[in-house]
Amino acid sequence: MSKKTIAAILLFFLCAADTTIIPLQTRRSTSLTTPNGVFDLDQAVVHSVATRNKHRRNLLNWRKNTGLGGPLSQSSKITAPALIPGKILERRQIEPLSDVANNSLWPGIISVGTPAQQFVVDFDTGSSDLWVVSSDCQSDICSVPGRSRYNVLASSTAEKQDNQTFSINYAVSGPVYKDTVCVAGVTVTGQSFGAATTLSVDFSDIPLDGILGLAFPAFNSFNETPVFNLAYEQHKVKANQFGLFLAGNGSELFLGGVDSSKFKGEVDLGFWALNNTGAKVAGEEVVSDIVAVVDSGTNVVYGPPADVATLHEKVPGADLFMVEEGSSLYSFPCESVPSIAFSWGGKDWAIPTTTMSQGLTEEGSSQCIGAVVGLDTGLGDNVWVLGDPWMRGLYSVFDFDKEAMGFATLK
């Protein structure tokens, strides 16, 4: 029996059962490291470009959907779209970058349509859109072996939204449909989503069929209700919150509550954006008054370049590795991993030492590239984006009723 057949059988039982847990596939513990242990600068630049464009899109959608300014800071700004430098594109044409998705995405299985069509999607707390690849996309990128494509003609519950299309600036576009969607044991009807008829070359080596966003509805590109929020409106989950556990093994998304088997003590809840956060090195606060965004689709921790420079001044042996396309990269002695934490709610939440290194500066070097990177995301002068390296050290809870986010200590 093939892996795909086994996955289809598993999906059937998940959607038929009364469960709210969806397992997330495992990925390597490092984020931007080549097989020989060296930091992959090209991949880091590509990821920085994608992160800037994602949050640029979020700001545009927020302003369009709410009529308000920036959701996090008065200093947020809409910048020009970030572009991958030509020299990197040329190198990618010679030898395409591989494993882009393995280290920045958390894939799981969903279904769309009636009967159910299975897709592997990334669950992303930094966006609000659902899209999958369409069978109408006939390019080589859409047709890579193992990639599933949505066939609207095969679904009895599909409804095309007249004159409505989507285009996301990390290079996917196509028409918008409504159909039945199942995530774990949660099934929603009339869910708006994009059926991608074009994919950029960046998806050539990414083993995904789409992305399912879990952020606020105001960030949605279609100005429609995202999957989880629609599930709550349709009374398919008990609580308007979800829990996220990211680890080397056993990662999971828990819909409609939390999985108390994954953490100990209480969940400390606060505003969705963490205000009055401080950055600490070895227990000493070095940057204060931070507004922090938690983004599972980001494989490093990004902060304003000046703040990140201040932080690394307190890290023994730290050096500025290079500034590339607006990203300030720092190194530290591999044998002396720094203790970096973010304080909030009276507690310090540290980046695990196992996720701090992003690889050697070069083969044979004793210096490692750190997981804290300087980057102007456009979100605001004091806004940081806390990504995967930080999230692996705790259990995360997102509560829409309270517009709050909370954390608990792992068991």
DSSP string, 72-128: S-TT---PPPP---HHHHHHHHHS----TGGGT--EEEEEETTTTEEEEEEEETT--
Query: 132: which 2 tokens?
Result: 């999958």
Spatial distance between the Cα atoms of 72 and 275, rounded to a whole number of angstroms: 9
Enumerate the H helices of 174-226 as residue ranges: none
The answer to whether 136 and 146 are in contact (CB under 8 A) is no
Q: Could you tell me the CA-to-CA distances from 281 to 347, 394, 400 in Å, in that order?
A: 14, 18, 32
Q: Which residues are catalytic?
A: 124, 295
Within its chain, how far is the Cα of 212 from the centroid?
10
Specify the DSSP class assigned to residue 228. Answer: H
Please state the separation of Cα 266 from the chain's center in Å.
25
Q: What is the DSSP letter of 394?
A: S
Joined together, the tokens standing for residue 357 give: 């290194």
